[in-house]
Structure 1
Amino acid sequence: MKTNKLLFFLTIVSYLGISSVFAQSSINASGGDILTGSNGSISYSVGQAVYTTNTGTTGSVAQGVQQPYEISEILSSIDYSELVKDLKIFPNPSTDVLTVNMYNTNDLQLDYQIVDINGKVLKAEQNIQDETNINVSTFPSAIYFLKITNQSKEVKTFKIIKK
């Protein structure tokens, strides 16, 4: 009788202990495995709410979040299609100098504006060259938008991260 009571008590305690243990969880819309190999694996989830960022001397990695470079593309003329293919902005994220590199085959007069998240124009230049360096070292660390325009028509907008 004493053994049965002890066994019943241990069963109840272990059930209560196991039922209150939770593993990592998140509510995801979708997910799956991209790559699995001998050195590790890569998986993804859509709707992940928590992530961490690891920063080192050569860069940073944000686990659990996709990092897009480009936010929009507006082509208002067929003349821009060839230019947009060759338009590159680097390095992004940047700490001091941002480079705009392109091959302007149509000799368009291109301008740029750097705009903050509130829409305030912080820096602008007209008639930029095929390779233009933009000094962003005085900007505080934040997210900015680099708008490339031709005669006030938007060619392309990039999201720029300033470290």
Structure 2
Amino acid sequence: MLARALALVAGLGGAAGVSQFPEYSQQYMQRLGGAVDELLRFMDDFDKDAASLDLSRDAALVDLAQGGQMGAARADSMVRTVDGHARLSSDLADMQNLGPFSRARYATRFTDPELAGRVWENYKPAMPVTFEGIIFAVIGFLGGLALLSGLIHLLRLPFALFRRTSEP
């Protein structure tokens, strides 16, 4: 009876946890889109400033870098901004072309730890009422059962081996 109760708890725990992935990935994608938009706005402002001086972005970065320590630091910061925008834009484009099940396979594309941390800070669990949420819940339930079964099997293994060696 206790084993069945533990199995049910493990299954429900797995279902509750894994079923949250579609909502978490959706919230990550929304924040990612916001971050990409903000970086693009910043880059557009920089490009407008460069254009007003008849400079390309690259020429403006070189010019900025030659303007002393502050200019060099600002140029480095802008290069990181451009690189970050490219990386996050690529992640966003990849995620937008994936469905919720494919997003689970490519969860490692959540490459920005700061962004993922902010999503997690503000994340509110949701009841999985979508098809994919229910499928993830079933997978989590079965995973919880399998995990508990494996753990129980490992815990019983030494006793089973002891019984075999102690039998005449």
TM-score per shorter chain, which class?
under 0.3
TM-score by length of 1: 0.25
Which has the larger share of strand?
Answer: 1
TM-score by length of 2: 0.24
Between the two structures, name the one with larger relative contact order (CA 8 Å, sep ≥ 6). 2
